[in-house]
């Protein structure tokens, strides 16, 4: 009888782990969907008020870096408390505000609204593709993290440099690279949840949100450059 119980325990533990992982993944998807609301609201407020148009690119960069890293630090500190979700949603509102300069510029084009919808649809398609891949791929993708992190840091440094260089060719190159790197980050982060390496849905949502934000921003930048040339 003891042998029967011993063989039953691993099965029960395995089922419990699977339920836990599915719960984290489900909560991540729900919170990710919810985070789009303050992002859109923030972008609308930013475009309506023209808040960031009066700022120079250098000042906007400082505001973005201080605000984004400050929020991310606060989210990690509160992720296990009741303040975690409100803090994350406040962060996504801030990110929407920071996106408003680009959104406003694209809306100024004759087909601006269509370009924004195209970027949104493209981001959604990439997310769906990466989410599907994460559920199909069986191998551990943990080794990807180091290379993706290095790539993201290099992108950020080059992006900061281009704020002052104002090179269109470099901007296009960085946007294309960002789409590739952050698409891979979506796959990596979702796979971490499914493999049980990430057990906090707020942290998981933060990672996937940042990747989606960068993919959308890069797609919109490329479409905006193309649209402005057509005009």
- Domain count for the chain, please give it: 1
Which structural domain range is residue 186 located in? 2-37+101-230
Confidence of residue 147 (pLDDT cuts 50, 70, 90): very high
Say which residue the tokens 């990596």 belong to: 188
**Would residue 161 count as lying in a domain?**
yes
pLDDT digits (tens, 9 = 90+) for 27-45: 999 999 999 999 999 999 9
**Would residue 87 count as lying in a domain?**
no
**Would residue 155 count as lying in a domain?**
yes
pTM: 0.89
CA distances from 8 to 2, 4, 12, 13, 215 (A): 10, 6, 6, 9, 45
pLDDT of residue 3 exceeding 60, the answer is no
Q: Across all residues in the chain, what is the average pLDDT?
A: 88
pLDDT digits (tens, 9 = 90+) for 43-63: 999 999 887 777 777 788 889
**Would residue 84 count as lying in a domain?**
no
Confidence of residue 226 (pLDDT cuts 50, 70, 90): confident
Confidence of residue 218 (pLDDT cuts 50, 70, 90): very high
**Would residue 82 count as lying in a domain?**
no
**Would residue 93 count as lying in a domain?**
no
**Would residue 78 count as lying in a domain?**
no
List, in sequence order, every beta strand (DSSP E) within the chain.
Answer: none
**Would residue 9 count as lying in a domain?**
yes
- Closest C-alpha among 174, 202, 204, 179 to residue 189: 204
């Amino acid at each position: 009888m003891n042998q029967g119980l011993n063989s039953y325990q691993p099965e029960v533990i395995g089922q419990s782990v699977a339920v836990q992982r599915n719960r984290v993944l489900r909560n991540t998807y729900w919170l990710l969907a919810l985070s789009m609301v303050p992002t859109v609201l923030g972008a609308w407020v930013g475009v309506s008020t023209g808040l960031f148009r009066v700022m120079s690119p250098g000042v906007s960069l400082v505001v973005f870096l201080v605000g984004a890293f400050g929020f991310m630090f606060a989210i990690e500190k509160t992720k296990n408390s009741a303040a975690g979700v409100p803090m994350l949603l406040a962060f996504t509102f801030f990110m929407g505000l920071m996106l408003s300069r680009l959104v406003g510029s694209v809306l100024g084009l004759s087909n601006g609204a269509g370009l924004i919808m195209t970027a949104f649809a493209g981001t959604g398609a990439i997310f769906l593709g990466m989410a599907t891949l994460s559920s199909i791929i069986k191998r551990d993708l943990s080794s990807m993290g180091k290379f993706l992190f290095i790539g993201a840091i290099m992108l950020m440094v080059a992006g900061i440099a281009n704020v002052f260089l104002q090179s269109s060719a470099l901007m296009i190159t960085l946007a294309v690279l960002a789409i590739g790197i952050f698409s891979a980050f979506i796959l990596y982060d979702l796979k971490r949840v499914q493999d049980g390496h990430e057990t906090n849905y707020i942290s998981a949502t933060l990672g996937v949100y940042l990747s989606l934000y960068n993919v959308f921003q890069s797609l919109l930048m490329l479409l905006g450059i193309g649209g402005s040339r057509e005009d």
